[in-house]
């Protein structure tokens, strides 16, 4: 079984398991919708655009983060409650963890797309564009959450948004995405470059 197929099986398994007896079915659907949409897009485009193993692994991991948050709702994830209690924090940090990776994924996937599909090369300009992509997607996600709650599920608003009493929740979420983007670009860019070189090598 190839690595790509392994990732696909893991994502499908996580979706199924997370959908068994979630805390709130509507919240589960809204939180896992990006997994369904993103996964379908990757599958449909796979022959034309196979992603590097690093990108696939990160997408699979992020799908797991979303599925866990969808099953319990972000404010009730057990491991988040344990971290909150152990460190004496005021809120469950699972959504912050998720938003950190909401910065990692767009930054590195955007970087791979730009390197493979445009004339951009590794350097300051690419770094800047990738950080901007991550921030733009994070801001758009915050707006989408707000619109979705207003239109589709006003009664599930607090559970879906996961504010947990934090009036600066949206700003904190975007800051975590920024941290995720910066961290991933510093730590993983060269690894991604090596995988891209192997992907481009003939035969």
User: Please, are residues 51 and 42 in contact by the beta-carbon 8 Å criterion?
Assistant: yes
To 5 degrees, how large is the angle CA 29–CA 140–CA 162?
50
Residue 157 pLDDT > 60:
no
Which of 99, 98, 109 lies closest to 138 in space, CA to CA? 99
Q: Are 60 and 11 in contact (CB under 8 A)?
A: yes
For residue 169, what pLDDT band results from cuts at 50, 70 and 90? confident
pLDDT digits (tens, 9 = 90+) for 109-150: 999 999 999 989 999 999 999 999 999 999 998 888 777 767
pLDDT in tens, 1-43: 599 999 999 999 999 999 999 999 988 998 899 999 999 999 9
CA dihedral sign of residues 155, 160, 166, 170: negative
* % the chain with pLDDT above 90: 74
pTM: 0.88
Is 164 within 8 Å of 75 (Cβ atoms)?
yes
* Confidence label for 90 from pLDDT (cuts 50, 70 and 90): confident
Check if the beta carbon of residue 92 is closer than 8 Å to that of residue 74. yes
Give the model confidence (pLDDT) of 98-114 as tens digits.
999 999 999 999 999 99
Alpha-carbon distance of 37 to 47, in angstroms, equals 18
The dihedrals phi and psi of 130, each to the nearest 5 degrees, come to: -65, -40
Determine the average pLDDT of the residues in 140-169.
67
């Amino acid at each position: 079984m190839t690595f790509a197929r392994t990732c696909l099986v893991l994502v499908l398994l996580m979706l199924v398991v997370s959908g068994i007896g979630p805390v709130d079915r509507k919240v589960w659907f809204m939180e896992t919708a990006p997994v369904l949409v993103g996964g379908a897009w990757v599958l449909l485009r796979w022959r034309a655009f196979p992603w590097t193993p690093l990108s696939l692994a990160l997408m699979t991991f992020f799908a797991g983060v979303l599925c866990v948050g969808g099953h319990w709702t972000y404010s009730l994830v057990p491991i988040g409650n344990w971290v909150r209690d152990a460190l004496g924090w005021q809120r469950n940090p699972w959504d912050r963890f998720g938003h950190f990776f909401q910065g990692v994924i767009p930054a590195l996937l955007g970087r791979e797309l730009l390197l493979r599909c445009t004339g951009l090369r590794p350097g300051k300009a690419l770094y800047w564009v990738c950080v901007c992509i991550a921030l733009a997607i994070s801001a758009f996600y915050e707006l989408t959450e707000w619109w979705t709650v207003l239109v589709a599920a006003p009664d599930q608003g607090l559970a879906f948004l996961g504010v947990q009493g934090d009036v600066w929740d949206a700003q904190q979420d975007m800051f975590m995405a920024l941290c995720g983007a910066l961290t991933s670009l510093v730590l993983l860019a060269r690894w991604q470059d090596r995988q891209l070189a192997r992907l481009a090598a003939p035969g």
